[in-house]
Amino acid sequence: MYSYKIWFIFLAVFISACVSMPKPSNERQFKTNVRLSEYNQYSQRYMPKATAGKVQFISGVDVYHLMADRYGNGYLGISVEYPKVDDFIESVEKYLRWSAVAKENNDVLSKIITYIRPLNGGVWQIKFDSYGDSNQYIVFSACGSEKSENCLFFAALDDLNAQVLINELRMFKDGSLLSVGLEDRYK
């Protein structure tokens, strides 16, 4: 009877350990060619940063993420839920059209391209910033609503990185982005 109790205690501990062990991650990392930028007040220009990419499965939806470190003060980032991919592609394509016009005319302006509502609440504000003939950026900020005046900056992209983002979002949409992920190399 004594050995039966020990076996039962061992089984209970084993089962509780299995329940409390972390579950396998629902994320896959990928090598991104997009470089997120952040405005640097000392150099007075946007600075590109090393950027990491991953796709996570959250609340039944695949989400494309780009992240870059803010030198220990949080992260820059863009998150695109699968059902919103076309909205993001459309807004970045509009940015590229506006950028070409601004370069041609040496325009200096800041204009909101659109707002995109993520499935989990809040709003992405996507804005066009032009500083003349050679410096245009698409700026991604998070807002509480379209009427919010104080939005939180998340990332900026120049023309080259905006085009790369479009390409990666198309690959995310058609399922080819993760065809050769880092996890596949290290099985």
Other beta carbons within 10 angstroms of residue 170's beta carbon come to: 14
Residues in the chain: 187
- Say what the alpha-carbon torsion angle 112, 118, 121, 127 is, to the nearest 10 degrees: -10
**Tens of pLDDT, residue by residue, the chain (187 residues):** 444 444 444 333 334 333 333 444 578 999 999 999 998 888 888 999 999 999 999 989 999 999 999 877 889 999 999 999 999 999 999 999 999 999 999 999 999 999 999 988 899 999 999 998 789 999 999 998 888 888 899 999 999 999 999 999 999 999 988 865 455 556 6
Question: How far, CA to CA in Å, does 178 sit from each of 25, 34, 58, 82, 85?
Answer: 15, 15, 16, 14, 16
State the pLDDT at residue 78: 95
pTM: predicted TM-score of the whole model, two decimal places: 0.81
For residues 85 and 61, the answer to whether their CB atoms sit within 8 Å is: no
In Å, the largest CA–CA distance within the chain is 89
Classify residue 119 by its DSSP letter: T
For the chain, list the domains and their CATH numbers: 27-185 (2.30.31)
Counting beta carbons within 10 angstroms of the beta carbon of residue 53, is it exposed (0 to 12), middle (13 to 18) or buried (19 or more)? Answer: buried
